[in-house]
Amino acid sequence: MAVRMQPIRDIDQVHDITKMLSKLKTPKGKKMFLLWMIGISLGLRISDIVDLKVGDLRGSEYTYLPKKQAHKRAARNITIPIPVELKKVIKARCAGMPDGAYILTSTKKTKAAKDQQHITRYTARRYMLEIGEMAHLDMKIGCHTMRKTFGYHYYQATHDLAILQEWFYHSSPSTTLIYIGVSLDNFRKMTNKSPFSNMDGVEL
């Protein structure tokens, strides 16, 4: 049975990873930092993240996501607010780039592609695996880690489950709680308070 990917629950660890990635100076390292910052700040699917262009996040308060969830029954176009911290990163790291350029630009060029392309989801997954190794994370990690981490800490800060359910296009609140790892937290708390613990007369 596959192990369900979990969020990074320790907010200090999230901050440490962010600081670590911000110090990387190679072109790949800079993209890894941007990928991480966008992922933990907006809680988007990786297909939405790699498709973002500089103009989507620079100079406006919101980014418009018109098409990625068209197959969902309850899908509708939504606007995502851009946190101030992310806007500062985009302004600094994407200075000099035109609005029409992909934020996560691919260095690979194909004969079929006339214009610059963005990195693939496969490349983003490789970046995330490398981030996990660099941070010595003892957990399964992938692109969903950023989305789940965003959701987990948003919920811990606001307990606004309705907003998260709509944000993630989930069919029910219980699906959202399972997705962001809160249901597992609640189960652990419940078993720690088991009515069958501390029973008198039990020999060990």
CA distance 75 to 98: 30
Contact 179, 170 (CB under 8 A): yes
**Structural domains in the chain, sorted by start:** 11-143 (1.10.443.10)
Using CA atoms, how far apart are residues 103 and 114, in angstroms rounded to an integer?
Answer: 18
pLDDT of residue 1: 44
Q: What angle in degrees, to the nearest 10, is found between the helix axes of 11-22 and 121-134? A: 110
φ, ψ dihedrals at 62, nearest 5°: -135, 155
Structure tokens at 190: 């419940």
pLDDT in tens, the chain (204 residues): 455 789 999 999 999 999 999 999 999 999 999 999 999 999 999 999 999 999 999 888 888 765 555 555 555 567 788 999 999 999 999 999 999 999 999 987 655 556 789 999 999 999 999 999 999 999 989 999 999 999 999 999 999 988 888 888 888 988 998 899 887 666 555 445 555 556 565 565
